Chain A
Amino acid sequence: MGGRGRGGRGRGRGMTLEQLGVQKGEALPERVVGPPETYPPLEFRPVQPTQEKNLAESYLLVVKKEYREHMQNSQYYIQPGVKRPDIERYSDRYQLLASHRGRLTLNWSRFPKELHPSTLSASSKKRKACLTKINVKKLKTKDVNVSERLEALEKKEATQGVEENEEGEDEDKAEGETFEELEEADEELDEGTDYVNNYFDNGDNYLDEEDDALEEGGVF
Chain B
Amino acid sequence: MSYYLQKVCYKILNEYFGNIVAKVGEVLFQKGVNPLRVIVTYSKLPLSKVSEAIAVLVQHNLVTWEEWRPGIPCYTLLHDRILLILRFPRYVFLVREKFGEEEEMVVDVLLKEGQATASHIIITSCVKLLEASDNDTSASSGSNYEQRHITIRNHLLKLIENEFIQRCSSPQDSTKPVPVLTIKEEDLYSLPPELLDLKALQQEIQHRRTETTAPTFIHPDANVLWRLNYDRFHIEFRDSEICNSIVRRIDPLAGECFGAMLKCSYKVSDPWAPVMNVVTAADIRDQLKDLKYLDQYLKILEEQSGDCVQRVGDAGGGQYRLNMSNAFQSLTYILIYNIVQERFGSKAARIFRLIHKNQMMEQDMIGEVSMIGKKDANLLSYRLLHDNFLRIHELRKTLTPSPANKIIYLFHVDMSSVVRMVLEWCYKGMYNLMVQRETIVSDNRRLLDKRTRVDSIVENLKQSGGTEEQIQEVEEMMTPSERALVEQVVVKQDKLFDSETGLDETIFILQMYLYYQTQKA
Contacts and interface: CB of A to CB of B under 8 A. Distances in A.
Interface in B228-287: none
B58 A78 contact: no
A44 B52 contact: no
A218 interface: no
A80 B20 contact: yes
Interface string B7-48: 000000001111111000000000000001000000000111
Nearest to B169: A110
Interface in B39-75: 46-49, 51-56, 58-60, 65, 72-73
Interface in A58-111: 59-61, 63-65, 67-68, 70-72, 74, 76-81, 104, 106-107, 109-111
Nearest to B178: A112
Contacts of A10: 399-401
B60 A21 contact: no
A112 B37 CA distance: 14
Interface stretch (A1-9, A134-142, A203-211): A1-9
B174 interface: yes
Nearest to B170: A110
Interface string B375-413: 100110000000000000111100111010101010000
Nearest to B72: A114
A115 to B, nearest CB: 5
A77 B18 contact: yes
A80 B47 CA distance: 12
Contacts of A19: 407, 409
Interface stretch (A49-57, A144-152, A158-166, A180-188): A49-57
Contacts of B502: 49
A13 interface: yes
Interface in A106-129: 106-107, 109-115, 117, 120, 124
B342 A44 contact: yes
Contact of B363 (A21, A56, A109): A21
Interface residues of B, number: 74
B387 to A, nearest CB: 11
Contact of B48 (A6, A57, A117): A117
A47 interface: yes
Contacts of A44: 342-345
B498 A71 contact: no
A77 B18 CA distance: 5
B16 A68 contact: yes
Nearest to B375: A21
A78 B502 CA distance: 29
A56 B400 CA distance: 65
Contacts of B21: 78
Contacts of B396: 4-5, 12
Contact of A72 (B16, B88, B498, B500): B16
Nearest to A28: B379
A150 B180 CA distance: 64
A133 interface: no
A67 to B, nearest CB: 6
B222 interface: yes
B171 interface: yes
Contact of A12 (B15, B405, B494): B405
A20 interface: yes
21 contacts: A10-B399, A13-B403, A26-B375, A29-B379, A49-B499, A60-B89, A61-B498, A63-B108, A64-B89, A64-B500, A65-B497, A68-B15, A70-B112, A72-B18, A78-B56, A81-B46, A109-B171, A109-B179, A110-B170, A112-B179, A115-B55
Interface of B: 15-21, 36, 46-49, 51-56, 58-60, 65, 72-73, 88-90, 92-93, 96, 108, 111-112, 114, 170-171, 174, 177-179, 181, 222-223, 225, 342-345, 363-364, 367, 374-375, 378-379, 393-396, 399-401, 403, 405, 407, 409, 494-495, 497-502
Interface of A: 4-6, 8-13, 15, 19-22, 26, 29, 43-44, 46-47, 49, 53, 56-57, 59-61, 63-65, 67-68, 70-72, 74, 76-81, 104, 106-107, 109-115, 117, 120, 124
The 6 A-B residue pairs with the shortest CB-CB distance, nearest first, are A63-B89, A113-B177, A5-B394, A21-B378, A10-B401, A60-B89
